[in-house]
Structure formats: structure tokens, C-alpha cells
Amino acid sequence: MSKVSFIEIHDSTLRDGNHAARQSIDLETIRAHCTMANQAGLVSVEVGHGNGLGASSYQVGFAKITDSEALRAAKQSLNTTKLVVHVIPGCAVYDRDIKPAIEMGVDIFRVGVHCTEADLTETFIREIKRSGSATAYGCLMMSHMASIDHLIKEAEKMYNYGASAVCIYDSAGAYDQERTRNVITSLKKEFDMKVGFHGHNNLGLAIANSLTAIESGADIIDAAICGYGAGAGNTQLEVLASILDKNNYSTGIRIAELLKLADQASSTYAKSKPFSSSLSIATAIHGLFSGFAPQIEKASNLYSVDPFELIKQLGKKGVLAGQEDLIYTTAANMSGKNNHTHADK
Amino acid sequence: MSAPVAILGTGNIARDLYRKIARSSVMKLELVAGRSSNSDGLKDARQFSNEVSSDAILGLVDYKKEKIKLVFDTTSAEAHKKHSPLLIEHKILSIDLTPSGLGKIIVPSVNIDDSINSNDISLVSCGGQASIPIICALTEAARNKGYTVDYVELTTSVSTLSAGPATRINVDSYIHHTEEAISLFAGCDSKVILNINPAEPPVNMQNSISIRVKGCVSKYIDWETETQQVAKKVNEYAPGWVVANSPSIIGDDRLFVSIIVTGQGDFLPAYSGNLDIITSAAVQVGEYMLCQK
């Protein structure tokens, strides 16, 4: 690996990790993590519900703390490190969720949509840019489901709306190195804009894919302390940063301080670490969102159905992140316990 | 004799409505007013409407307005906010199919009688029309059984192909006004989530409703009577409205029910129940209003 310009390693632990923690990350965790992340020189830290601002619900799980509590605690603990949140149109609402977050000092909004629906981000990206005090990144989630040409078309929309970067999310942990290389190279060739990669480790490839993304020209890499994230977890931040450091990449991270943060996380909220469980391998192979695993477990227990058969059925239907309700309805249908109610006509 | 009516807008919802009005014995389509004479929607309108205009709201106001008995506004929430004062000024009855939040909220199976005394009707949104009938019945039944209901949540999934550009620009107002309407009918807090799903083949419109039912002691409550009554009433105007998962308690306090709506395939194929539920409600309310006047 050769030395290139600055690589922006983005810490998604407290947001993606909220999936692993079943949305139970508390204020104490945010304060401790953010303080140490700032000391370690991390560029940016993301906090909030696993599905972003305004997502706390039966559908995707109630968070232990409110968005504004989380943002306040994070902001107070950060100095040079930027504060980042995730927002999904259809879940977050501009006036209710984004406007107050801008006022609370959020620096970067990651506006996420399913990879073929970039036009849903137009209002958010334009409004955030217009606010003058925050930046918007466009995020194409579940990106394994679209062709490279299609991803380019969607990225172009976000670029035109005013996004400062486009991030490619391997939300299912389904990417291999070849796919990563092809996607990132094509996007970098097409746009004069920062490109990011967000990996998941379902198939044990998160670090390999992230390094491939960097070699292919990616500017931003998402990673999590202890790999703490949905499904089998994300790219392990302290591993990635150490490899880059060894190879003379510039990241601004102080490795010794970073390892203290990793130890702190490992002994507190990240005691139980995500790994490539058979369930998360199966979701990746069938192209399902990594965060589905807990709900698949719950629904298969509730309706006494085989979780792997359930994963197969959900994969066939192309169920997407945000459609957690379909996990239950599919399991109910498989169990035969479902009563279809029709009116007498 | 059929009453002459008009449609503002030429998008997916309007085009579905052309076809439904064509079947009505109470109304006939006199005018469709869009913005561009070249749009597919306006070309399509010539088959169904006596007149077409590309002057949008002005086309309507200028056009023998004494003749038009009722207007369906299918444009966008922002556009309806501009249309509404003009329609009121010219004393034209209107039914709004956009999530503008203006006007008297009507859900036919719940409160169609309330449309008699109003000149300005709001149909909330597709998610509101699909969910409010069952939300009203279940929250009322739960309260009658002595439980406390303090929160209702709706997640609606619709196919990418059925969500046109206006729908996409309107997502925030869709959420805001659907929440407002659910809170009004359920008498408690609410949350609405919208998913636009590109899966192939296209998904049917699905509405998953969770109601927080506190003090619920048994997981095996029979909600069948309520469910069947609601289905019967809604099916009078929307035959594709079906309870996909009967109400059941998940966890401690979550009463969960899901509704699938398939359409009659008038303009977009049957998966677009989101179009059908609101256009069917519009025709039902329109016929009711015209018959009462």
C-alpha cells in the first residue's frame, strides 16, 4: 500500500452500535466515548438511534434516550471532533428532527436512503446546505442491490442536490473486494466529490473491503470501535487505523489514545462483541440488512419457525431496512397461525 | 342526472381518479386542469373528461365555474395551500387528496356524515385512509375493555413505482398530517413512518399498526368482531382492503395488526393500493356530498 492523502476515518460506533445494543446506549456511554474519541483525534463521531434521528419506535425499537439528550451529551464532550447524525427520509422529519439538530450543533448529516431512491434525499440535502451551518452527505444504503451504473445515477442526483460526499453502504455485509473495487473506482472516476465506504463484517471482509476501498480512491471510511455495529458488526476502527498508521497513511488519529478508547468500550458497553454468527452469515448471503438479526430471532421464536428458512423467504421478497414489520408477518404466514380476515361480501 | 366535477392535477392519483369517476352514476368528469398540455396525464384525460386545461387552477376558476359542482385536488400539499383560498372564494366544493392538512378530515367508514356541513374536505393521506378505520375500532375496543391507549404507530410501505414525484417531495407533510389525523381519531400521541420500497415484483401497500395498550393482562383477546365490522364497512368502497395479520399482542403492551391494500388496477396495477384507497374514498365522499346537496 502506498501513502496517499488524508483518509477520513469516521466513527459510527454509537449509531450503528446502537443496533447491537438494541438501542440501549445511554448518556454515560456517549460522554465517555466522545471524550476519548476527541482525545484520540478522530475526525467525526456519529451518535443516535441505529436508524437515525426520529426513528425511536415499535417498528425499529425504542431508544433508551431521546435524540436531543444524545446530541447534547455528545456535543458537550466533543471539541475538535465533528458531530454526525444519520437521517432517513420517511422516518426523520426536517422541522421536527433536523432543524433542532442543526441548532444543537450537528456538523454533518448523513442522509440515507435505499440505494435506488436518491430523489427522496433532495429536500433534506438542499435544506441542510441552505442552513449554512451544517454539511450533508448522501448515503446509498443496501448498495449490493443495485448495479454500478444505477449507483452512479443515484450518486449524481445527490451530487446535484448539494451533497459534499456520497457514501456507499454495504448494509448487508454482502460485498467482496472485487465489488468494492469496482464500485469505488467507478464513482471516483465519475465525480469530483468525496466518496465513502461503510462496511459490515458478516463475511469477515470488512477490513479487507475497507482497505480495497482506500486503494480504489475512497476518501472516507466508516468504522466502529471493537467493530461494534449491526449484525456481525462494522469495520473494526482500531485495526483499520493501526494498519493505515503502519503504512504511513495520514488519519490524524493518535493510536495510543485510540487503543485506550477501545479498551474502555470493550470493558463497558461493548462487552459482548458482534461476530459472524450463523444468522448474520445467512442474512449476508441472502442480501438482508445486517440489523435484522435480533428481530429474526424474536419472530422465529414467537411463531416457532426455522430462522434460516425465514431468512431465505425474506431474502426472496427483497425485504429492506425499515420493513421490520414484514419479518413478523412473514414468520406468521410460515407458521400457518395467521388468520386472514375478509369481510363477508 | 350526473353532476359535473373537475380534477386538479394529472399525476398518478388523478389518472386513477379519471377511471373511477367514469364508473360513477352520480358524477361525470367535466374538466381536468393540469400544468402542461404535453403531459401524459393531460393527454390521457382527453379520453375521460369533457374538457381539459393546461392553466392549472386558473383554468378551473375561469371555466364556467358555476357548472362545476365539486373539485378533486390531486396536485401537492404546497399547491393545495394556494388552491384552497381560491376554491373557497369561488364557492367550489373541494376534496383534497394531498397531505396539505387543510379542511375537514373525512375517513368514509368512520365519519362520512361530517362531510355534509363542509365545503373543504381533506382525505389526509393514503396511509391515513388505510389505517384510521382499524385504529378507531381497536382503540375504542381497547378502552371499552378498560385498557389505557396512549400511543399509536403506523408504518406504511408502498412500492417505488406507485410513489410519484409529488409523493416524494411531500414525505414530510405526509408524515406530519397523517400523525395529526391519527392523533385526532385515536385521541393520543402517534408516529408515522413511510417506506418506499423498490423490491421486484412490486410490493402491495402494507400498513403495520402498533397500538400501545397498557394494563393488558391477556395475550389472547378476541378482536375478531371489531376487525370484521371494519373490513365490511371499508370494503363497501375499497374491496382490496384486507387484514393481513389479525390483531395480536406482541411483547408486553404492543397490539399489532397489519393491513394490506390492493387496488382495482384502474390506472396503476393492483399493488398500488395506496392510490386506490384514497381515490376510492374520494369517490365515496364525493358521491355522498353530491347526493346530500
From A122, A119, A120, A127, select the one nearest A96 (Cα to Cα).
A127
| Residues A188 and A82 grouped into a single domain | yes
Distance CA A116, CA B31 (A): 36
Catalytic residues of A: 19
CATH of the domain at A307: 1.10.8.60
Distance CA A83, CA A94 (A): 18
Q: Which among A117, A122, A302 has CB closest to B196?
A: A117
A89 touches chain B (CB under 8 A): yes
Q: Which among B157, B169, B243 has CB closest to A341?
A: B243
Q: Which amino acid type is present at position A126? A: R
Residue A116 contacts residue A148 (beta carbons within 8 Å): no
**A65 to A25, A73, A94: CA distances (angstroms):** 8, 11, 20
Q: Is residue A342 included in any domain, yes or no?
A: no
Note the ipTM here.
0.91
| Residues A48 and A122 grouped into a single domain | yes
* pLDDT over 90 at B59, yes or no: no
> Could you say which of B126, B136, B216, B291 is catalytic?
B126
B 148-207 near A (Cβ less than 8 A) = 153, 155, 157, 160, 165, 168-169, 171-172, 175-176, 191, 193-200, 203, 206
Sort out which chain A residues have CB atoms less than 8 A from B193's CB and list them.
Answer: 57, 59, 90-91, 322
Q: Is residue A61 included in any domain, yes or no?
A: yes
Quote the Cα angle for B51-B53-B55, to 5°.
160
Distance of CA A19 to the CA centre of its chain: 10
| Residues A289 and A203 grouped into a single domain | no
| Residues A229 and A131 grouped into a single domain | yes
Q: Which amino acid type is present at position A33? A: H
Q: How far is A2 from chain B, CA to nearest CA, in Å?
A: 40
Sort out which chain B residues have CB atoms less than 8 A from A123's CB and list them.
Answer: 169, 171-172
| Residues A325 and A238 grouped into a single domain | no
pTM assigned to the model: 0.92
In chain B, % of residues over pLDDT 90? 72
Sort out which chain B residues have CB atoms less than 8 A from A87's CB and list them.
Answer: none
B244 touches chain A (CB under 8 A): yes
Q: Which three cell numbers stand for residue B55?
A: 392553466
Q: Is residue A260 included in any domain, yes or no?
A: yes
Active site residue B216: no
* Chosen domain end from A239, A267, A295: A267
Q: Which three cell numbers stand for residue A42?
A: 478522530
Contacts of A20 (CB under 8 A, 6+ apart): A228, A229, A230, A233, A270, A274
Q: Is residue A196 included in any domain, yes or no?
A: yes
Distance CA B75, CA B11 (A): 8
Distance CA B83, CA B6 (A): 13
Q: Is residue A344 included in any domain, yes or no?
A: no
Q: Which among B172, B193, B243 has CB closest to A59?
A: B193
Q: How far is B152 from chain A, CA to nearest CA, in Å?
A: 10
Other C-beta atoms closer than 10 Å to the C-beta of B27 total 21
| Residues A182 and A286 grouped into a single domain | no
| Residues A27 and A115 grouped into a single domain | yes
pLDDT: is A87 or B216 the higher one? A87
Phi, psi of B210 (to 5 degrees): -120, 130
The tally of domains found in chain A comes to: 2
B232 touches chain A (CB under 8 A): yes
Per-residue pLDDT reduced to its tens digit, B75-104 = 998 999 999 999 998 888 999 999 999 999
Distance CA A138, CA B12 (A): 28
What's the length of chain A? 345
| Residues A243 and A298 grouped into a single domain | no
User: Is the Cβ pair A323, B197 closer than 8 Å?
Assistant: yes
Give the domains, in start order, of chain B with CATH numbers. 3-124+276-292 (3.40.50.720), 126-270 (3.30.360.10)
Mutation target vs B (from A325, A327, A328; most B CBs, 10 A cutoff):
A325
Distance CA B249, CA B256 (A): 6
- For residue A284, the enclosing domain spans 278-335
A117 touches chain B (CB under 8 A): yes
| Residues A150 and A291 grouped into a single domain | no
User: Is the Cβ pair A90, B196 closer than 8 Å?
Assistant: yes
Distance CA A289, CA A324 (A): 10
Over B182-234, what HEC string results?
A: HHHHHCCEEEEEEEEECCCCCCCEEEEEEEEEECCCCCCCCCHHHHHHHHHHH
A88 touches chain B (CB under 8 A): no
Give residue for cell 489514545. A257
A59 touches chain B (CB under 8 A): yes
Q: How much is the CA Rg of chain B, to the nearest whole Å?
A: 19
Q: Which among A58, A328, A343 has CB closest to B153?
A: A58
Residue B191 contacts residue A57 (beta carbons within 8 Å): yes
User: Is the Cβ pair B208, A329 closer than 8 Å?
Assistant: yes
Size of interface A-B (CB pairs under 8 A): 111
Q: Which among B171, B198, B227 has CB closest to A114?
A: B198
| Residues A145 and A286 grouped into a single domain | no
Distance CA B275, CA B271 (A): 9
CATH of the domain at A78: 3.20.20.70
Average pLDDT over residues B177-190: 97
Per-residue model confidence as pLDDT tens for chain A (345 residues): 555 579 999 999 999 999 999 999 999 999 999 999 999 999 999 999 999 999 999 999 999 999 999 999 999 999 999 999 999 999 999 999 999 999 999 999 999 999 999 999 999 999 999 999 999 999 999 999 999 999 999 999 999 999 999 999 999 999 999 999 999 999 999 999 999 999 999 999 999 999 999 999 999 999 999 999 998 999 999 999 999 999 999 999 999 999 999 999 999 999 999 999 999 999 999 999 988 988 999 999 999 999 999 999 999 988 887 678 889 989 999 998 654 433 322
B1 touches chain A (CB under 8 A): no
Average pLDDT over residues B119-130: 96
A325 touches chain B (CB under 8 A): yes
Alpha helices in chain B (DSSP H): 12-22, 40-45, 56-62, 77-89, 108-111, 126-144, 165-169, 171-186, 224-235, 273-292
Phi-psi category of A164—alpha, beta or left, where left has phi over 0 and alpha has psi -120 to 50?
alpha
Q: How far is A237 from chain B, CA to nearest CA, in Å?
A: 31
Q: Which among A89, A90, A343 has CB closest to B232?
A: A343
3-state secondary structure at position A60 = coil
Contacts of A311 (CB under 8 A, 6+ apart): A279, A282, A283, A286, A288, A296
Q: Which residues of A98-118 are buried (b: 16+ CB within 10 A; e: fewer)?
A: beebbebbbbbbbbbbbbbbb
* Chosen domain end from A245, A267, A289: A267
What's the length of chain B? 293
User: Is the Cβ pair B245, A328 closer than 8 Å?
Assistant: yes
Strand B148-159's sheet: what is its strand order?
A: B189-197, B148-159, B205-214, B254-261, B241-250
Q: Is residue A3 included in any domain, yes or no?
A: no
Kind of pairing between the strands at A220-223 and A8-11: parallel
> Number of helices (H) and strands (E), helices first, in chain A?
14, 8
Q: Is residue A216 included in any domain, yes or no?
A: yes
Contacts of B159 (CB under 8 A, 6+ apart): B196, B197, B198, B199, B202, B203, B204, B205, B271, B272
> What is the average pLDDT score of chain A?
94
Average pLDDT over residues B168-177: 92
User: Is the Cβ pair A323, B172 closer than 8 Å?
Assistant: no
User: Is the Cβ pair A320, B210 closer than 8 Å?
Assistant: no
Residue B123 contacts residue B276 (beta carbons within 8 Å): no
Sort out which chain A residues have CB atoms less than 8 A from B165's CB and list them.
Answer: 119
Sort out which chain B residues have CB atoms less than 8 A from A117's CB and list them.
Answer: 160, 196, 198
Residue A337 is predicted with a pLDDT of: 62
User: Is the Cβ pair B193, A95 closer than 8 Å?
Assistant: no
Instruction: Name the packing angle between helices A307-317 and A293-302 (round to 10°).
Output: 120
Q: Is residue A2 included in any domain, yes or no?
A: no
Alpha helices in chain A (DSSP H): 13-20, 27-39, 67-77, 99-103, 122-131, 148-161, 177-190, 206-215, 237-246, 255-267, 278-285, 293-302, 307-317, 325-335
From B12, B26, B2, B33, select the one nearest B269 (Cα to Cα).
B12
Sort out which chain A residues have CB atoms less than 8 A from B206's CB and list them.
Answer: 325-326, 329
| Residues A152 and A214 grouped into a single domain | yes
* Chosen domain end from A213, A242, A267: A267
| Residues A216 and A316 grouped into a single domain | no
Q: How far is A13 from chain B, CA to nearest CA, in Å?
A: 25
